[in-house]
Amino acid sequence: MSGPKLRKALVLLVSAGLALVTGCAGDGDDSAGLPADQQNSVAGGSGSGDGIRLGILGQCEGPFGGFHEDVVAGTTLALARFAGATPESSTSALEGFSGAEVAGTPIELVGIGCGDDTADRVVQEVRRLVEQLGANVIIGPLSGDEGIAIAEYAKSNPELTVLAGISGSQEQTLQVQAPNYFRFYGDGAIWNAGLGDLLHNEEGWDTVAVIADDYSFGHTSAAGFIADFCGVGGKVTHRVFPPLGTTDYSSYIAALPGPDEVDGYFWAVGGTGTQAALEAFVNGQGDLSGDQHAGNLFFNPDLAQALGTDIAGAYVGGFATLPADVRTPEIEEYLAAADETWESIPGSLSGNEPAPPSVAAAFGFFYGYYTAGVALVEGLEAVGGDVSDLDAFHEAIAGLTLDLPYGEISLDENRSGIVDVGLSRLALDDSGNVVQETVAIVPGVDQTFGGTFSPDTPSPGRDFPACEERELPWEGNAIPVVDGVPQS
Amino acid sequence: MKLREHLTGETLALAGLVLVLALLPSLATAFFVNFVMTQTLILGLAAATIVFLAKYGGMTSLAQLLMFGIAGFMFGNAALDGGARGLNLGWHPWAAVGFAILVTTLVAFVLGAVASRTTGIYFLMLTLVYGVVGYFVFAQIVEISGPGGITSIQRPELLGPPVRLYYAGLLLSVLAYAGFRMLGRTAFGLALQGVRDDPVRMASLGFNVPLHRALAFTLAGFVAGLAGLLNVWWNGQIDPASISIGPTLILLIIAVIGGMSSLAGAWLGAFVYVLVLTYLRDLPLVDRIGITEARFNTVIGVIVLVIMVLSPEGLTGIVQRLRGTTRKELGGIRP
């Protein structure tokens, strides 16, 4: 037999053999009985009753890589406070913890997933945690697109229980609706609820131009503001979407109307873009007047370093926690507990240098993972530590109302948080520095915005939602906050 | 050549390897088969198209991951029905497969035709441009990419259980490997190698040089598209970040780790990449010397550097050299 012919014969033989194997596996039942032929098996399975095998999904690379310590510390703090966990290290949460137990059920940390802000990577990380390390409960993920991918993963793996970390996309609960995926915090849209009401009804803004990052979180964040501002009767005249990672915003600023053409501007530009975009605004449209600007959670007092104190007066949307001026006894207790649990944590807010853990704990990334940890503990308590009946366990979690330091959180029918949103304003303190002051707390905000968003509506995008007036459940219900004290 | 000559050496070793891989689901854990090996086969198949173009056509392409992505996106758009993302055409899965492969192959032909008059660094740069432009096309035209990616992509029923996806990957890998090897011996393959070595002489002999290059690029695009389909079935979703510059370079790195002159090296490179990605952090004490999962790219970079220094032919180069040394020592050099 000549060379090529022999090769052909060999190839045909091997291919036929493989096709046969694939084909046989294709007949009848869904299992060929091979060890590898299990539908995304959850090893151990929470149904087997040998405790909680916990995996935490964070990000150690990418734009939020700096928050890796923060998020793992968040969950660890919840388990240290309410499940008796002891961190393995007093200066880092990434070393893990031991001794966690709720109602006789041990909680073991099997692994920490390392995402890089892409959905592809986080799916691979969760598969490693679940399929290799046998996790049956996942806490995480951190960012928007990851949340959708993990919710889908949860949907196709019903034996798993997922408590979302701080991922802010709307669809992960509103559209995916996985029965085993729970989110004990708001989403990117929720965090801007009440801001439009405040600007339209109290500051007298009738028209606004919106500028937002052209990706899911930017869209969602802008969508929340637009739904709220238009809901109470305002008009959005311009929507400008610069791509994420833009460095020169001048052409996008040129697309905005001048300061005398609209009442104000709403900015949902994050990361390094916030400052760059505002600087481009000063260069392109003239001086900045804080009264004419509002931003989502990316607005903060540090902007004054480059923009000067003119930024004072700008309103800022909420996040999972409240600005530092609100200090209730519950918040004090929570922050003190963080400081007792570790000597220091190299969190993102301290530039990943060792700092008191309360610095990280006061910010939303840490707190989102903390609320998930508390939900796990209370869910286990509700079923007496018995997770053999997963449906009962999931039902118990879905029915929880958590009394948390920054406000009470319960879940809607899609297992997404109904939360209180804290709105704030950049203001000058007595020494002339720009600080962030809480101005109002909007209670009981849910995902739907009175019907603007539903499982049947498209994902927030460049054109969605349209600007329409509608009843908002929280219109006029905002609780004013004066000097850090809610006036309820 | 005689049968006996073929049944010794490389062919036999590869046949044995395929047999082991075919039996692997009975031997290894579900995670190793469904995650590590399935991903290896998918990435290997895609990287093999880079090696094919480089080995037979002298073209180093950075556009293969784009083809991989186009197939995935097209399948997602065509097969999904009623979600919030993509075109939601709701076609039968196999019709969607045909559509995805057709679009990918057509795009590959057009892009290949445009690039066919360039060589060397210019070809590399041009295909890099394809990759970057392709990424922005999917990132900006959200109607075909989500917005934010296409999720909830289901496999056709035939490939339901994960182990069947593994076998599909193995089958396609074997076919691609053998197909590329056989193609190298056909008139087209020989002409392509002639084009690689001396395009001017081939042109003066009457061969249509650009056409040969364009057709090779089309074939590579077709195979990369098959890998892309396996990938969306395996991963369940695809978004523009899946085909951004980072993953594009990773695919080239996989081909370099394995060795750009060896087709089998593509799968070897993919295996090493997936192993490092999955298991490096589990090694005892490895985090004590600062190699945590966050340092993964550094480790891959060091591996590439070491391989480039020790053996520009990649891991297969090292394997061949070791074999050569052993033969010399045993005095078994073939006449």
> What value of ipTM does the predicted structure carry?
0.88
The share of chain A scoring above pLDDT 90, in percent, equals 77
Query: What tens digit of pLDDT does each residue of A310-346 get?
Result: 999 999 999 999 999 999 999 999 999 999 999 999 9
Q: Tell me the C-alpha distance between B303 and B310, whole Å.
A: 10
DSSP A218-284: HHHHHHHHHHHHHHTT-EEEEEE-PPTT-S--HHHHHTSPPTTTSSEEEEE--TTHHHHHHHHHHHH
- Does A11 reside within a domain? no
Same domain, A139 and A156: yes
Block residue for tokens 């400052």: A275
pTM: 0.88
Of A387, A415, A443, which residue is a domain's last?
A415
- Mean pLDDT for B29-46 is 96
Kindly report, residue by residue over B189-206, the tens digit of the pLDDT: 999 999 999 999 999 999
The total domain count for chain A is 2
- The verdict on B297 touching A (C-beta cutoff 8 Å) is yes
The domain that holds A84 is classified in CATH as: 3.40.50.2300
Q: Which distant-in-sequence residues (6+ apart) come within 8 Å of B69 by Cβ? A: B134, B138, B228, B238, B242, B243
Mean pLDDT of A100-119: 94
Let me know if residue A390 belongs to a domain: yes
**Do A197 and A337 reside in the same domain of the chain?**
no
- Residues A110, A176 share a domain: yes
Alpha carbon distance A206, B87 (integer Å): 36
Within a domain: A9: no
- Is residue B150 over pLDDT 60? yes
A471 CB neighbour count, 10 Å cutoff: 10
- CB of B245 within 8 Å of a chain A CB? The answer is no
Instruction: Give yes or no: residues A207 and A181 share one domain.
Output: no
CB contact under 8 A, A118 and B241: yes
What is the percentage of chain B residues whose pLDDT exceeds 70?
95
Is residue A37 scored above 70 in pLDDT?
no
Distance in Å, alpha carbon of B217 to nearest chain A alpha carbon: 23
Q: Are A292 and A438 members of one domain? A: yes
* One domain, residues A279 and A168: no
* Residue A14 sits at the chain B interface (C-beta within 8 Å): yes
- In a shared domain, residues A445 and A312: yes
Question: pLDDT category, A132, cuts 50, 70, 90?
Answer: very high
- Check B142 against A461: CB less than 8 A apart: yes
- A134 with A72, same domain? yes
CA distances from A471 to A52, A197, A382, A475 (A): 43, 11, 36, 8
How many angstroms away from the CA of B89 is the closest CA of chain A? Answer: 16
Separation of alpha carbons B96 and B88, rounded Å: 11
| A379 and A448 part of one domain | no
- Stretch among A138-147, A261-270, B143-152, B281-290 having the lowest mean pLDDT: B281-290
Confidence of residue B330 (pLDDT cuts 50, 70, 90): low
- A25 and B CB contact within 8 Å: yes
Q: Does A114 touch chain B (CB under 8 A)?
A: yes
* Whether residue A211 sits in one domain with residue A93: no
Residue ending a domain, among A364, A399, A415, is A415
* Burial of A312 per CB tally in 10 Å (0-12, 13-18, 19+): buried
Residues A79 and A224 in one domain: no
Question: Do A295 and A433 have their domain in common?
Answer: yes
State the best of A13, A22, A152, A457 to mutate against chain B, taking most chain B CBs within 10 Å. Answer: A22
Please state, for a pLDDT cut of 70, what percent of chain A lies above it: 90
A38 belongs to a structural domain = no
Size of interface A-B (CB pairs under 8 A): 174
Q: What angle do CA B194, B200, B203 make, to 5 degrees?
A: 75
Is pLDDT at A46 greater than 80 in this prediction?
no
* A187 interface with B at CB cutoff 8 Å: no
Q: In terms of pLDDT, which residue wins out, A63 or B68? A: B68
The interface residues of chain B toward chain A in range 64-103, judged by CB-CB distance below 8 A, are 83-85
- Check if B285 contacts A (Cβ < 8 Å): no
- Residue with the larger pLDDT of the pair A45 and A364: A364
Residues 6+ apart with CB under 8 A from B65: B46, B131, B224, B243, B247, B248, B251
A177 part of contact set with chain B, CB < 8 Å: no
Q: Where are the domains of chain B?
A: 3-330
Structural contact between residues B274 and B300, judged by C-beta atoms closer than 8 angstroms: no
Distance, CA of A230 to CA of A235 (rounded, Å): 6
Residue A238 is assigned to a structural domain of this protein: yes
Q: Is residue A365 part of a domain?
A: yes
* A292: pLDDT strictly greater than 60: yes
Residue A177 forms part of a structural domain: yes
- Residue finishing a domain among A379, A399, A415: A415
Q: Dihedral through CA B137, CA B142, CA B145, CA B148, nearest 10?
A: 110
Handedness of CA A251, A255, A261, A263 (dihedral sign): negative
Q: Is the pLDDT of residue A488 over 90?
A: no
| Residue A276 forms part of a structural domain | yes
Domain span at residue A266 reads: 190-319+420-486
Min CA distance, A161 vs chain B (Å)? 18
Does residue B34 surpass a pLDDT of 80? yes
